[in-house]
């Protein structure tokens, strides 16, 4: 990544954010405004973030793409920060330079925010959003008034971003997808797991491990979950190697873990587990989201909070009311005996954890409607997706949500239909190219007692209300 200018936020600044409607950059805008800075932003479309931005005092406007950076001059901006969706052109860079405006990317402005508070950065290939939400909820309910920035809205908190009391901790979700998490300078670094993902950027799992090694090495305190996300109750050798190298606090179901999880029980929308810390039983722990992976995330949150001075006993009480985050096993509705749940899982490890947990939770059938995300990911990890999806009772696979990538010849959702059948030749799996096709199929395929999971990082969440409405229409 290119070197970024250093941003000083210790005095009030006039800041303009390009791509302000995006989830990550809008949350940064809300925090900057709460810090006392004058903040404006531009985007090419109005998004769902608009109302909260305006309520926070952020001036927002829709402009043509060619004006996204130019409007910063009208607001007298000293600093212009941009989302990854809208990198500056050479002309934008020249204009900023001649006007004396500092031009930085999202990671650099976030690093500047982190530099003003004691920061806990939560990263990992899977589970970082849920773990960040769990930790923010725990600290809030324990009376610590934390600052936080989460990739989804924690249901119990109502906001994805908040700036808490001076001197408090800042809990931030640290994105490893493009290496930007290495810029944050956090005092506490958390790694939930180490797995293959974003290979278009990293190239190999060895490069991913090396990045997490640098991430942990830059921190003073470290917490690492050493469980293998692909196998129940097994140690991941890469995670363990990192934990040992950096003398990290370890979490997991395996005996080497200092915070050791045991006897995980999942019942519909709740998870309960025992927890042993340094050989002493401190559980049980109960949270309002289902899944063995959520037990791991909760235990990581407890370990981090313990290191921040919130005892495990206080943390367990604070987590009792946790009911998840948006698009992380989010219950959209129940009708006709069918429960419809939406989830952001989009790589094989996430999908496997999601489906395996759902299978344990007590529904008659687990029906998955999966929207593949990115052609490169579908191509590179097709066999792993097939193995993960084959755990479901019934699978429907849509077309690929490209996320800006051009199609790759021979790669489509049908690629994953074949991968599921390769893994389990007798699987009940169908190809539904569009979301309209998926809705039509689901209307006749779902039965009372089913859990229907809509899964993916694209626009599949828009399918959920249609599924609930269709079940309501069938209900006598």
What confidence score (pLDDT) does residue 183 get? 82
What's the pLDDT at 1? 44
249-291, pLDDT tens digit by residue? 999 998 889 999 999 998 888 999 999 999 999 989 999 988 8
The closest alpha carbon to 386, from 358, 424, 359, belongs to: 424
Alpha carbon 128 to chain centroid distance? 5
The structure tokens listed for 415 are 């690629």
Higher pLDDT, 453 or 151: 453
More confident residue, 200 or 162: 162
- Kindly state the percentage of the chain with pLDDT values over 70: 97
- The CATH 3.40.50.720 domain(s) of the chain lie at 14-106
For residue 304, the model assigns a pLDDT of: 98
Residue 452: closest CA among 310, 354, 339: 339
Least confident of 76-85, 145-154, 224-233: 224-233
Q: What are 95-150's pLDDT values in tens digits? A: 999 999 999 999 899 999 999 999 999 998 888 899 999 999 999 999 999 999 99
Long-range contacts formed by 284-289: CB under 8 A, 24+ apart: 285/316, 285/319, 286/319, 286/320, 287/134, 287/319, 287/320, 287/322, 288/321, 288/322, 288/323, 288/324, 289/130, 289/322, 289/323, 289/324, 289/328, 289/329
Q: Do the strands 102-105 and 79-82 form a parallel or antiparallel pair, or are they unpaired?
A: parallel
pLDDT single digits (tens) 362-383: 899 999 999 999 999 999 999 9
- Please answer whether residues 451 and 337 qualify as being in contact, where contact means their C-beta atoms are separated by less than 8 angstroms: no
- Tell me whether strands 38-43 and 59-62 are parallel, antiparallel or unpaired: parallel
pLDDT score at 232: 67
Superfamily of domain 14-106: NAD(P)-binding Rossmann-like Domain (3.40.50.720)
CB atoms within 10 A of CB 8: 11
Of residues 311 and 236, which shows the higher confidence score? Answer: 311
Mean pLDDT, the chain, integer = 92
Query: pTM of the full predicted structure?
Result: 0.84
Environment class of 3 (CB within 10 Å of its CB; exposed 0-12, middle 13-18, buried 19+): exposed
- Give the model confidence (pLDDT) of 383-396 as tens digits: 999 999 999 999 99
Active site residues: 128-129, 173
Q: State residue 291 phi and psi, 5-degree precision.
A: 135, 140
For the chain, residues classed under CATH 3.40.1190.10 are 117-319
User: Could you give the C-alpha distances from 182 to 151, 177, 264, 383, in angstroms and in order?
Assistant: 17, 11, 33, 30
Q: Whose CA is closest to 374, among 415, 414, 346?
A: 346
CATH 3.90.190.20 occupies which residues in the chain?
330-474
CATH class of 330-474: alpha beta
Give the per-residue pLDDT at 156. 86
CATH class held by domain 117-319? alpha beta
Phi, psi of 402 (to 5 degrees): -70, -25
């Amino acid at each position: 990544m290119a070197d970024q200018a250093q941003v000083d936020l210790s005095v009030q600044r006039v800041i303009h954010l390009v791509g302000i409607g995006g989830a990550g950059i809008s949350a940064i805008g809300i925090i900057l405004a709460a810090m006392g800075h004058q903040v404006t932003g531009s985007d090419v479309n109005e998004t769902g973030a608009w109302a909260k931005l305006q309520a926070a005092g952020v001036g927002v406007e829709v402009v043509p793409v060619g004006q996204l950076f130019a409007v910063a001059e009208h607001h007298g901006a000293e600093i212009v920060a941009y989302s990854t969706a809208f990198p500056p052109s050479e002309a934008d860079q020249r204009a900023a330079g001649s006007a004396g405006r500092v031009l930085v990317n999202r990671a650099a402005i976030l690093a500047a925010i982190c530099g003003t508070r004691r920061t806990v950065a939560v990263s990992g290939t899977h589970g970082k959003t849920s773990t960040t939400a769990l930790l923010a909820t725990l600290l809030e309910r324990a009376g610590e008034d934390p600052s936080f920035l989460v990739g989804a809205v924690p249901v119990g908190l109502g906001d994805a971003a908040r700036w808490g009391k001076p001197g408090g901790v800042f809990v931030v979700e640290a994105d490893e997808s493009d290496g930007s998490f290495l810029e944050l300078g956090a005092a506490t670094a958390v790694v939930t797991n180490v797995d293959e993902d974003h290979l278009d950027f990293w190239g190999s799992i060895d490069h991913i491990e090396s990045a997490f090694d640098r991430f942990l090495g830059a921190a003073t305190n470290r917490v690492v979950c050493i469980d293998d996300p692909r196998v129940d109750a097994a140690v991941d050798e890469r995670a363990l190697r990192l934990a040992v190298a950096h003398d990290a606090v370890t979490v997991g179901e395996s005996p080497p873990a200092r915070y050791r999880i045991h006897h995980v029980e999942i019942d519909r929308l709740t998870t309960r587990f025992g927890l042993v810390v340094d050989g002493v039983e401190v559980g049980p722990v109960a949270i309002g989201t289902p899944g063995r992976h959520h037990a791991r995330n909760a235990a990581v949150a407890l370990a981090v909070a313990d290191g921040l001075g919130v005892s495990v006993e206080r943390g367990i009480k604070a987590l009792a009311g946790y009911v998840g985050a948006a698009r992380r096993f989010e219950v959209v509705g129940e009708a006709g005996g069918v429960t419809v749940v939406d989830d952001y899982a989009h790589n094989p490890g996430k999908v496997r954890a999601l489906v395996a947990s759902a299978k344990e939770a007590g529904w008659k059938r687990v029906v998955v409607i999966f929207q593949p995300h990115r052609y490169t990911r579908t191509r590179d990890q097709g066999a792993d997706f097939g193995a993960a999806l084959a755990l479901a009772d019934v699978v429907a696979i849509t077309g690929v949500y490209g996320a800006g990538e051009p199609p790759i010849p021979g790669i489509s959702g049908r690629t994953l239909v074949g991968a599921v059948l390769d893994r389990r030749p007798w699987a009940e799996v169908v190809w539904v190219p569009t979301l309209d096709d998926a809705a039509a199929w689901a209307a006749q395929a779902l039965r009372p007692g089913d859990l229907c999971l809509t899964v993916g990082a694209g626009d599949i969440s828009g399918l959920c209300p249609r599924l609930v409405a269709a079940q309501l229409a069938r209900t006598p």
